[in-house]
């Protein structure tokens, strides 16, 4: 006869590392005071652990015998969300959305749920943080309503599973995963064990029933989704909802996507009646750009398959202390230091006694190598106090020897610049040829940073 036994483990609340004893510092993530004791109930028979299920549903098959099928996607009325998801919602997928408190995660999912319900899809919105009446008040504020949208306030996973079995919805929203608990797990809701067990059960429901499930995840002070990194590995898609709380624009970025690109980005604007999608984000990022000022350049950056024009601003000023300061917002700090070293060594600019402050305007984060040349031109423009041409767009990767290297998708970048009225684009010389240049824009190829500075600044 099977016997049950409680096993005590100390689990790190940051990374999920398990230890049989308490330690002050976690060996997995080197964080202090993160190991918490949790109890797990196991079945033992003559010293051996019993598996909870021994049924085998499928047999191994040769890959040549498996028939491939095109995944049918469900499109929402938000084209920005469809873009980030890779073309629409895949049935049977598990999507994790993370973001700061108050950024608009619940607002976005409630709007999407209403849109899907209006399209005659049965949607179950499960709230663990609000009551049914509070959710109704938020829906009235957003002016969304549909007969096929069902609201349920519950945190017990067994009750949630039973409701899904009875209702048999097409889509399920869990807001949030940190409030849901598994009754068989003895740890508190939001702990590593609870989040892991609940996510695994939701994944099983999604795959066996073909239900697309959206789950909301809280984030830590560092901006990562709370709980172990295992949570991001278990789901199909991880989306981050970013933006400043004091600004109206929000960015939905894909970090992981098994059904599409991981570099896609969607732009939304928070208004009185909810989120509205922004179809042309380049105009927003450039609408307040000052003309005739030094240290300002425009770069055509690729966010997945979308070209986005972003203004890069640089401010170079003499340092008042012995050690110069380097600060960057939206641009990698190490990339700025590297480019300043290239300018000092290959171009002859004395930047070691200069403070440097750089910013990607609009709150967007740029991390691709194609922004290197625009950053270098911004630094040189501010250092020499020489304004750049307001109708120039600059694209290119900079090497340590001062060469300008080719970038990908140059045709889409140039077309986006031509569409917004730019008259000249400075690109790597190796990117010339092999594609059609728009008629209303001039394309100039450069081989080195010095050539680019001579063309952009006239020096």
Q: pLDDT by residue (tens digit) across 370-385?
A: 999 999 999 999 999 9
Looking at residues 132-161, what average pLDDT do you find?
A: 94
- 273 backbone φψ class: left, alpha, beta (φ>0; ψ -120 to 50): alpha
306 found inside a domain: yes
Going by their DSSP bridges, the two strands 171-175 and 212-217 should be labelled as parallel
Question: Does residue 206 sit in the same domain as residue 319?
Answer: no
Question: Does residue 290 sit in the same domain as residue 272?
Answer: no
Q: How many domains does the chain have?
A: 3
Q: What was the pLDDT predicted at 459?
A: 59
Residues constituting the chain: 459
Q: Which residue numbers belong to the known binding site?
A: 99-106
Structure tokens at 1: 């006869």
60 found inside a domain: no
Whether omega before 426 lies within 30 degrees of 0, making that bond cis, reads no
pTM (two decimals): 0.76
At residue 439 the predicted structure's pLDDT band, cuts being 50, 70 and 90, is: confident
Q: What was the pLDDT predicted at 54?
A: 38
At residue 246 the predicted structure's pLDDT band, cuts being 50, 70 and 90, is: low
At residue 149 the predicted structure's pLDDT band, cuts being 50, 70 and 90, is: very high
- Percent of the chain with pLDDT strictly greater than 70: 91
Q: Which residue numbers belong to the known binding site for ATP?
A: 99-106
62 found inside a domain: no
Average the pLDDT over each of 38-42, 82-86, 173-177, 191-195 and give the range with the smallest value.
38-42
58 found inside a domain: no
- Domain span at residue 218? 75-279
- What CATH number does the domain containing 336 carry? 3.30.230.10
Q: What was the pLDDT predicted at 229?
A: 62
Give phi and psi for 118, each to the nearest 5: -65, -30
At residue 50 the predicted structure's pLDDT band, cuts being 50, 70 and 90, is: very low
Boundary (domain end) residue, out of 258, 279, 300: 279
pLDDT tens digits along 283-294: 888 878 888 889
66 found inside a domain: no
214 found inside a domain: yes
pLDDT tens digits along 6-18: 677 888 877 778 8
- Percent of the chain with pLDDT strictly greater than 90: 56
Boundary (domain end) residue, out of 263, 279, 295: 279
How far from 257 is each of 263, 290, 354, 409, CA to CA, in Å? 9, 38, 42, 21
Q: What was the pLDDT predicted at 3?
A: 61
Q: What was the pLDDT predicted at 158?
A: 94
At residue 153 the predicted structure's pLDDT band, cuts being 50, 70 and 90, is: very high
Q: Which of 50-59, 144-153, 220-229, 235-244 has the highest mean pLDDT?
A: 144-153
Looking at residues 127-149, what average pLDDT do you find?
A: 93
Q: What was the pLDDT predicted at 121?
A: 95
Cα distance between residue 378 and residue 265, in whole Å: 25
At residue 67 the predicted structure's pLDDT band, cuts being 50, 70 and 90, is: confident
Cα distance between residue 159 and residue 65, in whole Å: 40
Question: Does residue 255 sit in the same domain as residue 377?
Answer: no
Boundary (domain end) residue, out of 212, 244, 279: 279
Question: Does residue 14 sit in the same domain as residue 105?
Answer: no
Cβ–Cβ < 8 Å for 360, 281: no
- What CATH number does the domain containing 158 carry? 3.40.50.300
Does residue 42 carry a pLDDT above 70? Answer: no
């Amino acid at each position: 006869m099977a016997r049950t036994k409680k096993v005590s483990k100390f689990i790190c609340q940051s990374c999920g590392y398990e230890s049989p004893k308490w330690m002050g510092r976690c060996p997995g993530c080197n964080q202090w005071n993160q190991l918490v004791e949790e109890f797990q109930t196991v079945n033992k028979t003559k010293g051996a652990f019993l598996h909870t299920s021994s049924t085998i549903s499928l047999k191994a098959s040769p890959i040549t015998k498996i028939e491939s099928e095109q995944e049918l996607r469900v499109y929402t009325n938000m084209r920005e969300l469809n873009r980030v998801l890779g073309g629409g919602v895949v049935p049977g997928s598990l999507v994790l959305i993370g973001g700061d408190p108050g950024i608009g995660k619940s607002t976005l999912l409630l709007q999407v749920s209403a849109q899907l319900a209006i399209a005659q899809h049965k949607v179950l919105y499960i709230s663990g943080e609000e009551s049914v009446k509070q959710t109704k008040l938020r829906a009235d504020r957003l002016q969304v309503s549909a007969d096929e949208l069902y609201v349920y306030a519950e945190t017990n996973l067994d009750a949630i599973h039973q409701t899904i079995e009875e209702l048999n919805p097409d889509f399920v929203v869990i807001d949030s995963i940190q409030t849901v608990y598994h009754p068989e797990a003895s740890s508190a809701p939001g702990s590593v064990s609870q989040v892991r067990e609940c996510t695994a059960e939701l994944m099983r429901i999604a795959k066996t029933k073909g239900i697309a499930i959206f789950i909301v995840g809280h984030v830590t002070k560092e901006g990562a989704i709370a709980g172990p990194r295992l949570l991001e590995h278990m789901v199909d898609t991880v989306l981050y909802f970013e933006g400043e709380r004091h600004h109206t624009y929000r960015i939905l970025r894909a970090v992981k996507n098994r059904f599409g690109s991981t570099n896609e980005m969607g732009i939304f604007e928070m208004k009185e009646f909810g989120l509205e999608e922004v179809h042309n984000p380049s105009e927003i990022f450039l609408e307040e750009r000052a003309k005739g000022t030094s240290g300002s350049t425009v770069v055509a950056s690729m966010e997945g398959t979308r070209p986005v024009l972003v203004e890069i601003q640089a401010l170079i000023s003499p340092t008042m202390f012995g050690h110069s300061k380097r600060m960057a917002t939206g641009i990698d700090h190490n990339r700025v230091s590297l480019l300043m070293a290239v300018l000092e060594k290959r171009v002859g600019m004395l930047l070691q006694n200069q403070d440097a402050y750089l910013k990607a305007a609009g709150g967007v984060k740029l991390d691709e190598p194609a922004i290197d040349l625009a950053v270098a031109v911004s630094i040189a423009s501010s250092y020499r106090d020489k304004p750049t041409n307001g109708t120039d767009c600059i694209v290119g990767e900079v090497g340590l020897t001062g060469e300008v290297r080719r970038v990908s998708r140059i045709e889409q970048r140039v077309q986006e610049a031509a569409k917004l009225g730019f008259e000249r684009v400075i690109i790597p010389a190796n990117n010339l040829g092999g594609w059609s240049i728009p008629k209303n824009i001039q394309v100039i190829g450069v081989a080195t940073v010095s050539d680019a500075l001579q063309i952009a600044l006239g020096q």
